Structure 1
Amino acid sequence: MGGTEHLDVRREGATLVLTLNRPEAKNALSLPMLVGLYDGWLAADADDGVRSVVLTGAGGDFCAGMDLKALAGDQGMGGDQYRHRMKADPDLHWKAMLRHHRPRKPVVAAVEGYCVAGGTEMLQGTDIRVAGRSATFGLFEVRRGLFPIGGSTVRLPRQIPRTHALEMLLTGRPYPAEEAERIGLVGHVVPDGTALDKALAIAERINACGPLAVEAVKASVYETAELTEAEGLAAELRRGWPVFDTDDAKEGARAFAEKREPHYRRA
């Protein structure tokens, strides 16, 4: 199934679950974690049996971002056995954090505990977001004299109102889950310890839909985000019309008429 010492991979039906697994450091980023993440994104898109991905963290936290203690001690990000991967692809860490890579399959984030700095940056690359009530979000980089270079100065103002994005970016303050929901950073706040259950339930609903339609809809949303309305509508037709010609579209109509669940074959 893959994975590394800091990234667990498992299947839940048609959902691939990627778990950041470095709980002793609140799942702070490490090279083994980043390599495992990137390989996980590639594995999900390469496997037609996978229809969605859930990203979560072990030990009650999502991700505390960069390991500042390790960097301060010149220890780097660990995982020397993976250095050859970074040498072969210097962009690997950005792809792992979804800055330079967008998975074809929908990605649902299940957040408990800390999701700050690089954690909040990676969150912006996911499609649907669920948080436990005690979860904490924020971009703390400016408080450490750093820059949130994982994409937040570009993506955050496009995902939430600019005034909230700038406050988060310029103050470096923590945001509780309910405030994150209110400003639109996450879509659901659930009782602590149940974020993964909720995320898996959302993923299961996605999995029940036509996979070709789901992937085309996701692609269209992102492709048209920065287009004019006229350009976007034209692009939507180019993405959407071919879906109607698929066997899956015909199966969906037949299943509705016959009052049964559809059996999609990605055809």
Structure 2
Amino acid sequence: MGGTEHDAGHGAGHGTEHLTVRREGATLVLTLNRPEAKNALSLPMLVGLYDGWVAADEDDSVRSVVLTGAGGTFCAGMDLKALAGKGMEGEQYRDRLKADPDLHWKAMLRHHRPRKPVIAAVEGYCVAGGTEILQGTDIRVAAETATFGLSEVKRGLFPIGGSTVRLQRQIPRTHALEMLLTGRHYSAAEALSIGLIGSVVPAGTALDKALEIAEQVNACGPLAVEAVKASVYETAEMTETDGLKSELERGWPIFATEDAKEGPRAFAEKRPAVYRRA
């Protein structure tokens, strides 16, 4: 899907031992790659994730990002063994963390919002830190066998990746509080019913569905797509009056672009639009 698959080139992120990067057409696919630990978060994974988000935003040929996990699992959260003092892999990346103490929060999309749309493709466990990262994505696809939950309180911990703030803004507060205060796991069907995810597909097909959605995004005008995403998040906490004013400030400049002329012209000529980010 999405054209010929090839390794991400210059400026598209190179990954680490726990995070692989590849291209599918105009989509950058970031894969959490530590299946033996159910893709529990590690320093190499966090560094690779952060670099992937930055690379996607800096490369104009990338129009969307898909985030998924290897080995039939999305992410089982923080490495609790490492948290207990057993040591965390990837000591060679410590200098990156020292240079940017906020790097792990940016990697988990707590302190960073990519300007390109991010689509999550979830198989298996997406719990604790996995569900926290999920809240930073824009569109969410899950296999029918996926499992969600914020289990921190069961371990005497706090979901400090943003969940006490974001979850109640993304799903009804009663559901957010039940998830946060019980630490229980949710099936994909239940996660869909409360609005945590957008679609459920057969096991093993979440990535295919995410890439299909990404192709639809990629076929749209990239300047328009990025402005629409920015407007949605910018106006989320505004009053309606302020939000509508902000929307005009974001939206009107799009009509002056060459892409805005190309879209209607291509429609009239019954051909696919060729957008040039101009």
- State the TM bucket, normalised to the shorter chain: over 0.9
Asked if residue 57 in structure 1 is aligned to residue 69 in structure 2, the reply is: yes
* Aligned residues with identical type, % of pairs: 83
Q: Does 1:140 align with 2:151?
A: yes
> Does the aligned pair in 2 maintain the 1:110–1:196 contact within 8 Å?
yes
Amino acid aligned to 2:127: V
Residue 109 of structure 1 is matched in structure 2 by 120
Question: What are the superposed Cα offsets for residues 185-204 of structure 1, whole Å, 9 maximum, x if unpaired?
Answer: 00000000000000000000
- CA offset digits 1:93-118 (Å, max 9, x no partner): 00000000000000000000000000
Match of 1:200 in 2: 211
* SS of residue matched to 1:104: coil
Match of 1:164 among 175, 188, 197: 175
TM-score, normalised to structure 2, is: 0.95
2:30 aligned partner: 18
2:43 corresponds in structure 1 to 31
User: What do residues 204-253 of structure 1 show as CA deviations (whole Å, max 9, x unaligned)?
Assistant: 00000000000000000000000000000000000000000000000001
What is the CA–CA distance in structure 1 between the aligned matches of 2:268 and 2:202, rounded to whole Å?
Answer: 39
For residue 70 of structure 1, report the CA deviation from its aligned partner. Answer: 2.6
Question: Structure 2: how far apart are the matches of 1:76 and 1:238?
Answer: 49
C-alpha offsets along residues 118-148 of structure 1, whole Å, 9 cap, x if unaligned? 0000000000000000100000000000000
| 2:26 partner amino acid | A
Offset of 1:78 from its aligned partner? 1.6
Give the equivalent residue in structure 1 for 2:4.
none
Residue 93, structure 1, aligned to residue 89, structure 2:
no
Report whether the alignment pairs 1:6 with 2:18: yes
- By how many angstroms is 1:71 displaced? 2.3
Corresponding position: 1:120 with 2:121: no
Alpha-carbon distance in structure 2 between the residues aligned to 1:158 and 1:6: 31
SS at 2:44 equivalent: helix
Q: Gapped runs of 5+ residues in structure 1? A: none
TM value normalised by structure 1: 0.99
Runs of 4+ residues over 4 Å off in structure 1:
none
Residue segments in structure 2 that go unaligned for 5+ positions in a row: 1-7, 9-13
Say yes or no: does 1:187 pair with 2:188: no
1:81 is matched with which residue? 92
Q: Is the contact between residue 6 and residue 36 of structure 1 (CA under 8 Å) also seen in structure 2?
A: yes
- Select which of 248, 255, 261 maps to 1:244: 255
Contact 2:81 2:87 in 1 (8 A): no
Q: Find the residue that maps to 2:273 and give its secondary structure.
A: coil
Aligned twin of 2:240: 229
Paired with 2:261 and 2:141, the residues of 1 have a C-alpha distance of 33
Deviations 1:140-187 (A, max 9, x none): 000000000000000000000000000000000000000000000000
> Residues 40 and 77 of structure 2 are in contact (CA less than 8 Å); yes or no, is this contact kept in structure 1?
yes
The alignment's C-alpha RMSD in Å is 0.5
